Amino acid sequence: MTESAAAPHLPEFGIFLVAHTNVGKTTLIRTLLGKDVGEIEDAPDVTKAVTSYDLVVDRTAGALRLWDTPGFGDSFRLARRFRQRHRWVAWAIRECWDRAFNQKLWRGQRLVLDLRTRASVILYPVSLLERPVDAVYVAPELEIMAWVGKPVLAIFNQGVGLQSQASEVERVNEWQRHLSGFPAVRSVLRLDAYTRCWLQELALYREISHVLPETERATYSKLEAVLGQSYSNRFDASVSALSAYLLRLATDKVELEAGWFEGIKDVWTSLRKSIPWGKSKDMTPFEVAMQGLAQRYAEGTKAVTDKLIAINRLDGVSASEIVETADAKLVTDKPVDGGSSALVGGVISGILTGLGADLLTGGLTLGSGALVGGVLGAMGAAALAKGYNVYTHKNMKMVGWSGESLTEAFGKSVMLYISIAHFGRGQGQWRRKEDPTNWTIAANEVLQRDGERLKRLWAKVGAPASSQREEGECETEVRHFLREVLRHLYPESRTVLPEERFGAGKSAAQLNLPIKEKSSS
């Protein structure tokens, strides 16, 4: 800990990122900062100077800064320089000989001296693409770290290039055994610049507080809390964006006249289109309504994706996203009697069987084959009659998304957020990748366990009299499901997860939500 240059009476904590050249230091810096800094090339010795970046600057607590440094080159020769016991001899070799004839070695020595005087903690990334037995430079570099005398946190980086998750686990275990033989290394963490989750970043900053001297921890914890709040704010903004998107889907309905002749016409038109010679180029009002719903669904998905990308400090747009829906996506309700429900039920229950949304450079378009009508997935007449009779006061037929399709959209929204939350900015522009199996398993487990909560939610927000209370409940559910999936993926990070909140300041009991008992473990 040193004094802040901006406010000399306040403390400054320096987190120095130091490692061998070309192991991804600047890439990791970009991910931790959430912005493009430095230069990235697949070449050694790209970073030439020591550069600081503000993580937190607080007028009362001080400053927390992240430092990018040139990579160590000839680690063996550098270590030999610091074995020199006579200071005046070491100074003469460094400042007279090396400065004139070996600038790279001179910069390395200046960096080590800076670490000794300015660093609070040292982050030491190692590449999982290398085996410890091949990374012969690690031993002399950690010898130098021991001379510096500051706590070292080793970070396992570049694991994304390994062939399988099993290979990564095996390599991590190999590195852990190797690093356990170096007293300078106080802790090891997995934090890949490409695929980390922001929870792992919070865990890193929490771990730093554990390795700092006891006298500095209280001051550092204040800065850590300020930094942690910025992560919570981004999580809150993501929750709000997803909640607003899902609410728009749940309340998106189209009204059609419900005259007695409309039902017969819908049936006849749909049956005619189900045979090759009976197709018509004109869409019925019913199909126009469904295409409108599908169009707004695709546009809303693109908009919320772009918003989440920006909130989470990434670049890129949701180009070439494919929005898929299955049959039984639409529900309809209109005042009918039990006798006519058997006639119309088989046609309209599964009228939308697929939707492809292509996000082209010129905008979002729906292909001519997006809507397929027919007698598909018919629901029972009695069930339909019961559903309609709830709204016997209506004079209009309503077309909207079913509870099942809203739950599916909810699940896809969770997976979208998890994908964005794991995308490190050091990777470049955001692009959707194949979801790892463990993400899908975690999301499915939570959705299956707490799916009844969503059923109750859709019943409320889809009603005409839905209010701000239901909006608060939707945000509560989004937050709950995101937290639970993240807890499944990172059980060790529960202490840094943003807390549960309930809509409009309500408690769980006031919102009629089940309250989980805390685990005794």
What's the pLDDT at 317? 65
> With 80 as the cut, is the pLDDT of residue 249 above it?
yes
Q: How many CA atoms lie within 13 A of 196 on its CB side?
A: 29
- Band the pLDDT of 113: cuts 50, 70, 90: very high
Q: Which residues contact 389 (CB under 8 A, 6 or more apart)?
A: 338
Q: Poorest-confidence range of 1-15, 28-42, 243-257, 302-316?
A: 1-15
Strands across the sheet containing 253-257: 253-257, 396-401, 330-333
What's the pLDDT at 272? 56
Mean model confidence pLDDT for the chain: 75
pLDDT in tens, 413-458: 999 999 999 999 988 888 877 888 899 999 999 999 998 999 889 8
Q: Model pTM?
A: 0.79
Q: Yes or no: say if 148 and 116 are a contact pair by the CB < 8 Å rule.
A: yes
Give CA–CA dist 251/260, Å, rounded.
26
* Structural domains of the chain, with CATH: 2-196 (3.40.50.300), 243-251+403-511 (no CATH), 252-401 (no CATH)
> With 80 as the cut, is the pLDDT of residue 153 above it?
yes
What's the pLDDT at 8? 60
Closest CA to 216 of 10, 495, 13: 13
Give CA–CA dist 58/65, Å, rounded.
11
- Report CA torsion sign: 157, 158, 164, 168: negative
pLDDT in tens, 117-144: 999 999 999 999 899 999 999 999 999 9
Q: Poorest-confidence range of 158-162, 213-217, 384-388?
A: 384-388
């693409």: which residue's tokens? 129
What secondary structure letter does DSSP report for 349?
Answer: T
What's the pLDDT at 376? 25
Distances (CA, A) of 400 to 113, 329, 355, 397: 67, 8, 15, 10
